Structures are given as C-alpha cells and as structure tokens.
Structure 1
C-alpha cells in the first residue's frame, strides 16, 4: 500500500537564495536538517545546531562523479572543522547536518543513524562513499530502534527536497512493477478500487538495427523500464560526453548492477524507475533522444507516449469543460 498522506515541509533559505545555507524541517518531526556550502562554513559553524550531536553528509564530486561521506559526531561543528582541514577530503563542496531539536540525540542514536545511512547508501549504489568499512549499529533498546527508524523515514522525505537523492531507491526486484492486467488505451488497472492511483500503461522501444527491445510501464507517475529490457553497451560520442549527457547515469546503472553485459548489448537485471521517458530512452539507445516520441504503446505502436499523454490531457480538459 502506498502512503498517500501529505507531509508539510518548511525550507528556510538563510542567505535568501537556494545555493546558500538552508534549514529543513517537517511538521511534527523532531529532526532538523541544515545544509551549508563549504564556502560558508565559517558562518555555518556559528549556528547553535552546529554544536549538536547528529549525523552529517559531505557531498561533492571526485573524478567526474558524485561522491559522499557519511559520519556522526557528538559535536557536528568540531567534526566539520576536522574534515575541512583534512587533505584527503578536498573534494567535498556541501555539508548536510542532521540533528534533533533541543539536541535530543545521544551518541548511541547518532551511531545507529550513521550505520543505517551507510548501509542504505551502499545498497542503493547511486553515489560512491569515501567511507571505509560499514560500522556496526550500537545496541539499542527495541523502543529506541523504532524511534530511530521513524526518524530515518522522515529524513528520507526531507533529503530529496534539498536535492540529496542518493537514498532514493529506483531499482526494483524484477517483475515487482508489473500489474496484471493493464489497459493501455484507458490507462486504468482493474485494481483501481483499492484507493491508490493505479493508472498503468505499457510502452515499448525497438531498434531493430541494433537488436534492441525495451519494455516499460508508466504507473503512479513513474516510468519504469522492466527487467529483461535491452540497452546499448557502448555510449555514442556526444561531443566528448557533454554536461547534458546521460552517460553518468549509464555508468551508475552498470556500477550498481542494474545493467549487465549480455552478448552484443546490455540487459536490465531489475525494474528501474527513471525520472522521465527521455532518460529511459537515452539509456536504451546509448545517446540522447526524445523519449516521448520514441516510446510507443505496446498495444498500438502507432501511438507514442507523447500522443498518449496528449489524449489524457485532452480528456481532462473536456471533463473540466463539461462540469
């Protein structure tokens, strides 16, 4: 069952612009998230929450790809000063400090959070970590474990809002995203009576000259390429892989095991939720392409995703006009 309850998130831009220092808090959550660029570290460490116990993320790039470090401290400010002076951590550009109001987290709490975040990041595999071995979680009571897991669940809502997506799980077990039956023309699944938005439509992408076939399902706002789909093994040279290329995403999918070599091409080992049809098509073709035009209805290849979506929008407009 998908949790469809809304959450209220407050972002405060301390500097007045989104690239400066930011605080983020959820309504009815004791957690507090503070983001600071490394260039504003002097001002950031003067804030009260910088002296709290908590966990932190150091984010940046190394050798052209995203990189991160996850740590914990009883005094976040002291630990960040140490990292700023360390010669092996020149790569980080942003720090995310996670604490609790009134400094309610203790040493055992933050060690537990650190351990869980490292395990989660490595399981998802979006972003390589600078961390060495994964620390074992401390011995907490059953009640404290439940509290920290609830704390983590709320933190996972906040982090994507501040553009930290390393904990978003986009890969799924093979077949897990495949509802049966699916009605391509209406877009409605027979299970729609369960209260969830189960709109589901199947699409297909073919490139006979490269022996590539990929299948995807569009459901609940996600464009999910299904396990068993093909993808081109090499990336076409797009002006030496310009900044808008999806090549880094292909590298990530290979590194995390979502894509693996299979003869002359690669194959998806898991279902994977892309951010858009365009991103999905680019990974399949190995170069930039218009996804809405490339993906076709599996039941009617004459209709593209763009055509299908236009029909859905027209239907909404007609419904509004009749009311």
Structure 2
C-alpha cells in the first residue's frame, strides 16, 4: 500500500540562493541533510554538522555522464578534505552530507547506511557510481536495522527535494502495472470498465507500437512495448543519456533490429516516453492516443480539465 500521508520538509538556503549551501530536514526526523557546492567547501567545513559521523554523496559529471560516489566517515569534514585533495576525484562538483542531530549516528550505523545506499543506487542504475566493490553491511541488532531502514525511508523523501534523483526507482517489475489492454489484438483493445487512462503510440514506419497507463500522476510505459533499437536523435540531446541508461539498467532489451521494454517504466511526461520510443525528439501529447476514444493525449487532457471546470461550476 502506498503511504499517502503528507510530510513537512524544511529547506533552508543558507546563502540565499538554490545553487548554494542548503540544509534539509523533515519534521519529526532526526536526520539532517546538508548540501554544498565544491566551490563553497571551505565555508561548509566550518559548520557543526561537518564534523559529525555520517554518509556523504559526491555528485558531478565524468566524461559527459553523471557520476556519483557514496562514502561514510566518523568525521565528514576530514573525509571531504581528503577527497578534495585526491587526483582521481576531480570530477565532483557537489557534496551531500547526511548525518543526525546531536551526532547520534555511530560507526556501525553509517557503514550500514553506506552499504544500503550503494546497493540501492546500483540496483536502480540511474547514475554510475565511482565506488569500487559494494561493502557488506555491518552486524547490527534487529532494532538498529529497523531504525536505519526507517532513517533511509525518510532520506528518500528528502533527496529528490534537493534534486538528487539517483535513488528514484522508475522501473517496475514486468506486469506490475495492471492493465486491461490485451496484447492478443493489434490495437490493444481494452475494457471500458478499467478506471485508468490507457494510451497507445504507433510508429508505423518501423512497425513499432507501445502502450502506457496514466496512474497517480505517472505516465507508465508497459513491459512488452516496442521502441526504436538505436538513438537516432542528436548526440548529447536531453534524453540521449536516459535512453542509454534504460539499456544499461536492463529496462530495455535491444539488438540491431528491434528493442522492447522488459519492465514497466514510469516517465515524467508523455513526451519523455515518446522520445525514448522514437529514439529522437517527439511531441508526446500528439503522439499518444487514448485507447477507447482514439483521441490524442492532448485532447484527452483538455476533456479532463473541462470536466473539472464543469464540476466546480455545478458546485
């Protein structure tokens, strides 16, 4: 069951702008997240939380690809100084320090958190890690493991808010998104009793078609959907790296002649999904068509908005 309870998050822009130093805290959570650009590292290390025990993320770009390093330390400031001086880590531009109020995390806690974060990042495959082997988690009591897992759950709420999306799991196990679309017919005819909006995209030139559902604000392309087997847009275009990421992460399987989604995958928008399927820039609202009515996503969206307006008028 999805937890729909609201959470209160406080972001504080220390130097007054979002690209500077930031602190992030959730109400009723002992964790503390501090973000600093590398250019402000000298100032950042003067802060109290910089001498706490915790885990940290180094974020940047290497050879044109987003890259990250995950580590732990009993003194975060000392470890970051070492990384700043290391010749093999010149690529990182931002550091994210994760600790707890009153320095409540001990060495075993932070080693557990480091191990879990590395495993999570590699399973998701969104951002390549500069780490070597994955460290094994230390032996913790059952109670401490429960505490650290709860700590991680809250941390996963905070990190996307500070634009760290490497732990967002957008792929789903194949078949995890229930759809009434039948793959036995060429047009994936569906039952009108299905409450979810379902969409179809065709690329007739190459005999490609894909299907998707809109669920809880996510535009999910379903496993079994086809896509163009190569990126045919501009090198370095916005979605080129995502196309490569889906291949690398096993969401998409491709050979020289064809490619297919082997997992359901949640895209940020219909255009993002259409671009990946075409292998080039595409207008998603015009490319996807609603299954029952055969109208475009754009036309379907207008109908939904008009219906809301009519309901408000009736009230």
| Common topology (TM > 0.5) | yes
Identify the range of structure 1 (170-179 vs 15-24) with the bigger mean alpha-carbon deviation: 170-179
1:299 aligns with 2:292: yes
**Structure 1 residue ranges without an equivalent (≥5):** 190-199
Q: 1:235-282, CA deviations, whole angstroms, 9 ceiling, x for partnerless residues?
A: 2243x444xx31111010011011111561211010000010000000
Q: Is the 8 A contact 1:70 1:131 kept in 2?
A: yes
Structure 2 residue matching 1:6: 3-state secondary structure: coil
Match of 1:260 among 247, 253, 257: 253
1:35 aligns with 2:35: yes
Structure 2 residue matching 1:309: 3-state secondary structure: helix
CA gap 1:219/1:50 in 2 versus in 1, 3 angstroms: same
Deviation of 1:299 (Å): 2.3
Q: 1:79-103, CA deviations, whole angstroms, 9 ceiling, x for partnerless residues?
A: 0000000000000000000000000
Partner Cα distance (1:204, 1:160) in 2: 30
Aligned residue in 1 for 2:122: 122
Aligned residue in 2 for 1:17: 17
Aligned residue in 2 for 1:175: 175
TM-score, normalised by the number of residues in structure 2 = 0.95
Aligned residue in 2 for 1:315: 307
Aligned residue in 1 for 2:91: 91
- State the number of aligned residues: 309
TM-score, normalised by the number of residues in structure 1 = 0.92
Aligned residue in 1 for 2:280: 287
Partner Cα distance (1:280, 1:88) in 2: 36
1:278 aligns with 2:271: yes
**Structure 2 residue ranges without an equivalent (≥5):** 183-188
Q: Is the 8 A contact 1:184 1:297 kept in 2?
A: no
Partner Cα distance (1:307, 1:157) in 2: 34
Partner Cα distance (2:210, 2:41) in 1: 47
Structure 1 residue matching 2:71: 3-state secondary structure: strand
Q: Is the 8 A contact 1:293 1:306 kept in 2?
A: yes
Aligned residue in 2 for 1:248: 241
Aligned residue in 2 for 1:45: 45
RMSD: 1.7
Equivalences for 1:175-254 in 2 at 5 Å?
175-180=175-180, 189=195, 200-238=196-234, 240-242=235-237, 245-254=238-247
